Amino acid sequence: MPRPDEGGGSGSPRGVKKPAREILSRGENTLIARIWRGQTLATIADEYSKYLYEEGICAIAKIPGNRGVQMLRSVLGDVAEFQVLSYWDSIEAIKRFAGDNYEQVRHLPNDFEYMIGAAPTVQHFEVVVNDWPQL
C-alpha cells in the first residue's frame, strides 16, 4: 500500500506525488511574507475589493522579486476585514514596493476613503515551510 506522500494514495490529490516537506534554514532559499491588514464597512467590501485588486494587488505582482500575492476578506456584521499576503525574495525586493521604511503601511491613494477602525498594519515573516500541493 503506498504511503500518502508517495503519490497514488488517498492523501495525495489526483495521484500527484508531493515533494517531501522541508523546513528551511535561515537565509536558505529565503521567502519573506508581508501581511497587510485593514478594515472597511461591509457595505463597500465589494467596491474596496475591486479597488484593492486594481490599484494594489496588480501593482505588487509586477514588482521584481515578488513571488505572489493573495487577498483575503472576511465580512462579519458591519465590518469587512482584509488581509493581503505578498511573498518576496528579500527585504530589498519589498523596499522596491514599500520604500526604505518598509515596516510601515504603504497606503494606496484612496485608502483613507475606505478604511475604518484601527489603522492598517503590516508585518513581515520568514516563510519556514511552504507546502503547496503540486496539482
pLDDT along the chain (135 residues), means of 10: 42 46 57 96 98 96 95 97 96 92 92 91 93 76
Whether residue 17 lies inside any domain: the answer is no
From CA 105, how far away is CA 34, in angstroms rounded?
A: 10
Whether residue 102 lies inside any domain: the answer is yes
How many CA atoms lie less than 13 Å away from 66 in the CB half-sphere? 20
pTM metric for this prediction: 0.76
CATH number at residue 83: 3.30.70.100
Whether residue 15 lies inside any domain: the answer is no
Q: Name every residue whose Cβ is closer than 8 Å to that of residue 70 and which is 6 or more positions away in sequence.
A: 84, 85, 86
Range of the domain at 62: 27-126
Whether residue 20 lies inside any domain: the answer is no
Whether residue 118 lies inside any domain: the answer is yes
CA distances from 57 to 6, 99, 125 (A): 36, 17, 19
Q: Structurally, how many domains does the chain consist of?
A: 1
Whether residue 8 lies inside any domain: the answer is no
